[in-house]
Structure 1
Amino acid sequence: PDVYEGGPAPIATYLASVSKVAMMALAVRFLLDTALLALPSVQMLLMVMATLSILIGNMLALRQSNLKRLLGYSSIAHMGYVLIVVVSIGAAADSVSSMYMAVYAFTSIGAFGVVTLMSSPYRLSGEADKLVYYQGLFWRRPVLTAVMTIMMLSLAGIPLTAGFITKLFAILAAVQGAQWFLAALIILGSAIGLFYYLRVMLTLFKRPKAYVEFDVVGHWGVRMGGLMVIAVTVLIIGFGILPNNMIEWAAFARIW
């Protein structure tokens, strides 16, 4: 989270999506291809790591007023959900963890992409990283608000988004592995996460401030960054409504 806050928004986007997912994918691939996962001590260690990641990540995210830090702590919790999948179903976790990390990467690109778009006209004067800068964004940028809202809904695992499908599969993986505590932990973590994701969404629809510190450039939707976040939004909604293609892709493909 400190790196996310201190680095430029485009760098934070890369760290939250490509970099984090790649490192997590390598770790999961290593665990699945070796005999380590069969060791009870390793399983217990991963369970402890998953529990701490979900609880600490979500609890610290609750306290954040900086949007990049909030998303950073949220990412810690999401990596905990992936660990639960690996612990619960072992070698069968390949496709589910691939799907989860791919959707998380797309959602992070969308969320941090909005921060980048809001910050790009003000490179020399700071970044739009504080939540207060987004107060009332809906009243002047409704489409951009819709993008950020959908990203928050997906991260929270709300139905009709790809995030709901992946979180549902994570819970089913824990149930399949008879890891009832871990299944309950996913539900608890999601419930905690809903509070701070909802706080972000409510801020977007509040009464706008008299003075606007940050705003996107005109016609942002036809620029490369704008097209990217819109495309990611379509994917998140599309996979949430019609998840079969995503499930089939995850069953036969690996992202690492």
Structure 2
Amino acid sequence: MTVSDLNALMPLTIIAVASVVIMLLIAFKLNHKIIQAICALSFIVSLVSLSNRPSYLSNSLHQLFIIDGFSIFVLALILFSGLVINVFSYIYFEEKEENPKEYYILLLLCTLGAEVLVISNHFFPLFIGLEILSIGLYVLIAYLRTRNFAIEAGIKYLMLAAFSSAFLLFGMALIYTDTGTMQFNLIADHLNKLGMPSIIFLVGFGLMLIAIGFKLALVPFHMWTADVYQGAPLPVTAFIATVSKAAMFTVLIHFFNTIGSNRFQISTLIITLIAIASMLIGNLLALNQQNLKRLLAYSSIAHLGYLLFAFLSSNKLGIEAVSFYLFAYFITTLGAFGVVTILSSKEQDADHIDNYRGLFWHSPIAAIVMTIALLSLAGIPLTAGFIGKFYILSAGIDAHLWMLAIVLVLSSVIGLFYYLRIITTMFSKGDKHIIKENLLHPAYYILSASTLLFLTICMIWFGIYPIQIILFIRSVLN
């Protein structure tokens, strides 16, 4: 392994070493504050290490990993999200009945698994990364085991994730049987020589698509999403909604683009139908939800459908649109879950819409931040979410995907209804909001509030002046 290889893998190495260090520190009975600070420091150092972008990779490393501009951009989003979730985790877990220290080990390991997924160029690291991510999530989802729905959510995710892993392995086995290789670019070379894929390859390809659909919670593989979102602790729900899905979506882009799946009409048709169903059904299922976690769960299904729309465009503009939309979706989703986390009490999460009745008249800043986040999710102008949807529409129209463009617009109108319902609830008169008693030092609430303020500024700033992040994305991708 060369020095360039070590630099390329430095973000993964730092997170892996940090998880071991925290494990040892817990054995010495260090307190929650120190453990959380070291975890945050590891995310910061790993994020900084991405600036040392390798100019090349050795052949042995290239067989397993692909570290291109898109991978580095997603890695940065993942590490940034991990840092934000770490900040919100302290005030959430410090007051809970469970010992929160082991939580940070699992958070780091799940982040490590997501990082491995993002740079995978081979079935072996793909599966290893997926299992590291999934096994950590099994525990994190049921971490507060005395809470309602926690164990149920953990078991449901365990069973469905196991089924999806079985589909993935079987699909990989069939593709390996047909091509004789597990490396993405060599699979593409094999397909180029044959011209037409065999039946065995198509079956394996379909099984892998099913497994990826489960991990991304795309329709019709979305059954677990709402229950898991509702039962998991709030920081874990935010992690699933952002880091977990972004990592798996990156795998989808890398594998499908490398083998040129757009050449196969059947795969393009299937993904198109999944995108349409996810956009429409995700928004329709969210309409009557009274639990905010479940509402955001179904909303996330629709947003993954929007990303599939950009993915299907199969052009350079499509990758730019996916990158910008992931950025906008990350900061918006983290902002929304951050507000819910800060408002949650020791006994219960502030996850029911009635908890936000009249919130503006008691906590105006929290209501304003949540309003901006919801408007961004809805794709309203002057927010980053609007630019993201406009970018996706531009990429789709450039590829002449008119049907998907019409569905995106119609589904966005449906989504606007339930986002506005929450906003009107916050600005209405009422007294069913949660009044949280601050039991921790004010510095921790100031840090969390400052993080929320930063996310809110990003939502507005990049909604008004998006050219800065667009030029940055283009410079990274080139």
- TM-score interval, normalised by the smaller of the two chains: over 0.9
How many angstroms does 1:136 deviate by? 0.4
Distance in 2 between residues matched to 1:228 and 1:216, nearest whole Å = 20
In the other structure, the counterpart of 1:177 is 399
Where in structure 2 are the equivalents of 1:154-173 lying within 5 Å?
154-173=376-395
Q: Normalising by structure 2, what TM-score?
A: 0.50
Which residue does 1:114 correspond to in 2?
A: 339
SS of residue in 1 equivalent to 2:380: coil
Partner secondary structure for residue 396 of structure 2: helix
Match of residue 196, structure 1, among 392, 409, 418: 418
| Kept after mapping to 2: 8 A contact 1:133/1:214 | no
Residues 75-154 of structure 1: matches in 2 within 5 Å? 75-119=300-344, 122-123=345-346, 125-154=347-376
Please state whether the residue corresponding to 1:207 is helix, strand or coil.
Answer: coil
C-alpha distance 213-144 of structure 1, shift in aligned 2 (>3 A): closer
Specify the SS of the correspondent of 2:313.
helix
Partner of 2:48: none
In structure 2, which of residues 423, 432, 446 is the aligned counterpart of residue 223 of structure 1?
A: 446
TM-fit CA distance, 1:198: 0.3
Partner of 1:244: 467
- Structure 1: state its 5+ residue gaps: none
Structure 2 residue aligned with 1:234: 457
Greater relative contact order (CA < 8 Å, ≥ 6 in sequence): 1
Distance 1:76 1:20, change over 3 A: same
Alpha-carbon distance between aligned partners in 2 of 1:43 and 1:212, rounded to the nearest angstrom: 47
Runs of 5+ consecutive residues of structure 2 not aligned to the other structure: 1-225
CA RMSD of aligned residues (A): 1.8
- Percent sequence identity over aligned pairs: 40
Distance 2:311 2:374 in 1: 25
Residue 428 of structure 2 aligns with which residue? 206
Q: Runs of at least 4 residues of structure 1 off by over 4 A?
A: 218-222
Q: Displacement of 1:90 after TM fit? A: 3.9
**CA distance change for structure 1 residues 13 and 216 in 2, over 3 Å: closer, same or farther?**
farther
> Residue type matched to 2:311 in 1?
V
Partner of 1:37: 262
